[in-house]
Structure 1
């Protein structure tokens, strides 16, 4: 009888109404007012069973903050590079124009449908945070055999690396808004998995996507081999090498001034060894991942005003008078050790109520990032105790 009731409870959770409520924090290292980012989110998602899957509607409130750029950061913000250069040549204090505190808030709305092999979602970027734009994703993940699954997807999402790319901002010198970039992507993948030991091959292509004077071209290839799996009724461990090559061509018109390090680096090579642990029973759902590895990335030298020949020519002329003038951003490269770690812990208070949270820390790429989530899931319709 207990087993039958458990199956009824699981069926109710799979097909009955359900509410998921989450709150989360993301902190990203960087320069205050530029690449630094603090983000708080709170979301509520209602879903119910339909047509062999689940339909859902979701609202997500977002607050982001980067502080106010000052000093060297202000001199590289908007068109302030020109008054900085003029002050250097004149041997006088530069008449920089102060920028506002960089923050934003809004509510993103979305709805969709998902089952074992189709995932559809369409909605908006946060309303009230820059211009409201369409954001969505469509994916199919059919099984081609007992252990083989294919993946194909297309998506359009905001670039959330910084305030400028996510919400956009206003140039304190000209008053013009710029930034708020959308990323359009598509990809194919194929995976083979047998008891946790298998291979994954995936490729992603992001064609040029122009939004608010921004363009991104992105390619990504990933090959992964999982090996050495240990399995028991409640515990699973996976480990294996992973190699990844990423390239991002960051078109400088994205920011007028490229405000360095607002996105991931232009070319990124990764070698990683992920180790994953999971444990599940009637009450607990625990997962942990630790991924040490090495990375190498670089960014090319870039003009301050790459899309404005007149403004750039003025800077070049000022630099000819005084070599201390900044007329371009230096190139940058870095090679070394990096790691990422994630963990999640959820507890089922009753058959219909689950609470828990997640933590994550990642040093791959040119920024360090910390994430945390607290969540509650409430299902309706089951009579189990």
Structure 2
């Protein structure tokens, strides 16, 4: 739901070969500082190749809100003076299942067939929708130079018409402890197959969906090592193919303290208040809707807790954010982009009260939780492998993502 702030053991055994948790031999601290500085410079300037794969699962009805995604990313980066360039290609395959039962009625323009059958007192025969799936590959070229970063690329080639995706961000330091950020971007909405790749209506033959978000925002943060505060505000405009336009806002406010810090291990505890809203509700899958969560108002208050650390060649992070949410979804016409279909549906609703020409407004409140675990293992200087598991139950859908990745720095021993 927009760009929110990511919430992203010392042993005493004797050193022995093959034991990554063994305590290292004592080193001169000056030599250690020099090695660390060399490693940081190498990591910033050396060429690098990386690869990753991810499985993402989003709950929902088959053929509508459900989404299973398998994606990968291969990237290569190198520095030219003070500018670092990264080129990447990201294959992706998504599947949402096939609409059936009541979901089939609410897909595309099938509601008009249902309404005609109710008024005519005969059994509806819906136009069968094909399995909701798509495959493609996105390409991207990014650059970073100090506080300035930018990228430009495409939506997955193979999803239909290609859109340009990318963004620009400026993240200056503000004094010794402050950080600012300004950004603008245009990105695909990945909530469902309809939103991400688009679909073809089996009744009219019209393609719809493939939603893009264009927007930007500003953020400010302060961190003195022991505690911190942050806030951000953003705006987004949503447009797609044969989909009603939409506008949204989002505000995040939060703070945290670090009650425990020892060596490279720390515990962080904080709070986060998120408020967002959309002009209209596009969380449906009939013709003209975008298929993405877009509440009239959404408020959540969470208590993020995280633990990060390093032990020998291992780096790890664990985070959990329990909280409470409340949201309201506005009602909406079944066919917001098709006047003839919506007019006929309204007329049929006047003839029989069992015909519904609009989706009803809904509201819900309750507890939610998000979190994740990640680990990174450096198996030789400049080379590492890592993985992560993340989950989120806020909103109307539950989402889980599992990823693995490898990274190799070329021509040096970066990241030692």
Query: What's the TM-score bracket when you normalise by the shorter of the two chains?
Result: over 0.9
RMSD: 2.1
Match of 2:86 among 56, 66, 73: 56
Q: Which residue of 1 aligns with 2:195?
A: 165
Q: Which residue of 1 aligns with 2:209?
A: 179
Change (3 A) 1:254 1:299: closer
Q: Which residue of 2 aligns with 1:42?
A: 72
- Cα offset for 1:229? 3.4
Q: Which residue of 1 aligns with 2:396?
A: 366
Q: Distance in 2 between matches of 1:192 and 1:172?
A: 53
Is 1:104–2:158 an aligned residue pair?
no
Confirm or deny: 8 A CA contact 1:264 1:366 kept in the other structure: no
Is 1:312–2:351 an aligned residue pair?
no
Match of 1:190 among 213, 220, 231: 220
Once the two structures are superposed, residues 53-80 of structure 1 have per-residue CA deviations (whole angstroms, 9 ceiling, x without a partner) of: 4211000000000011111111111111
Matching of residues 1-385 of structure 1 within 5 Å: 3=32, 4=34, 7-206=37-236, 208-214=237-243, 215-250=245-280, 257=287, 262-382=292-412
Q: Distance in 1 between matches of 2:287 and 2:393?
A: 26
Confirm or deny: 8 A CA contact 1:12 1:380 kept in the other structure: no
TM-score, normalised via structure 1 length: 0.94
Once the two structures are superposed, residues 165-214 of structure 1 have per-residue CA deviations (whole angstroms, 9 ceiling, x without a partner) of: 100000001111111011001101111111041110111011x3433133
Q: Distance in 2 between matches of 1:300 and 1:251?
A: 6
- Cα offset for 1:370? 0.2
Confirm or deny: 8 A CA contact 2:107 2:285 kept in the other structure: no
Q: Distance in 2 between matches of 1:209 and 1:326?
A: 27
Confirm or deny: 8 A CA contact 2:294 2:329 kept in the other structure: no
Query: Alignment partner of 2:240: what SS?
Result: coil
Q: Which residue of 1 aligns with 2:4?
A: none
- Cα offset for 1:33? 0.4
Change (3 A) 1:259 1:209: closer
- Cα offset for 1:88? 1.4
- Cα offset for 1:378? 0.8
Confirm or deny: 8 A CA contact 2:88 2:139 kept in the other structure: yes
Q: Distance in 1 between matches of 2:114 and 2:413?
A: 69
Number of positions where the alignment pairs a residue of Structure 1 with one of Structure 2 = 384
Q: Distance in 2 between matches of 1:51 and 1:280?
A: 31
- Cα offset for 1:317? 2.0
Q: Distance in 2 between matches of 1:35 and 1:53?
A: 41
Query: Alignment partner of 1:128: what SS?
Result: coil
Once the two structures are superposed, residues 78-106 of structure 1 have per-residue CA deviations (whole angstroms, 9 ceiling, x without a partner) of: 11111111111222110210011110010
Q: Distance in 2 between matches of 1:273 and 1:364?
A: 13
TM-score, normalised via structure 2 length: 0.88
Q: Distance in 2 between matches of 1:96 and 1:254?
A: 18
Change (3 A) 1:162 1:196: farther
- Cα offset for 1:257? 3.6
Confirm or deny: 8 A CA contact 1:213 1:254 kept in the other structure: no
- Cα offset for 1:323? 1.7
- Cα offset for 1:50? 2.6
Once the two structures are superposed, residues 238-260 of structure 1 have per-residue CA deviations (whole angstroms, 9 ceiling, x without a partner) of: 11121110112236599664669
Confirm or deny: 8 A CA contact 2:280 2:294 kept in the other structure: no
- Cα offset for 1:227? 2.3
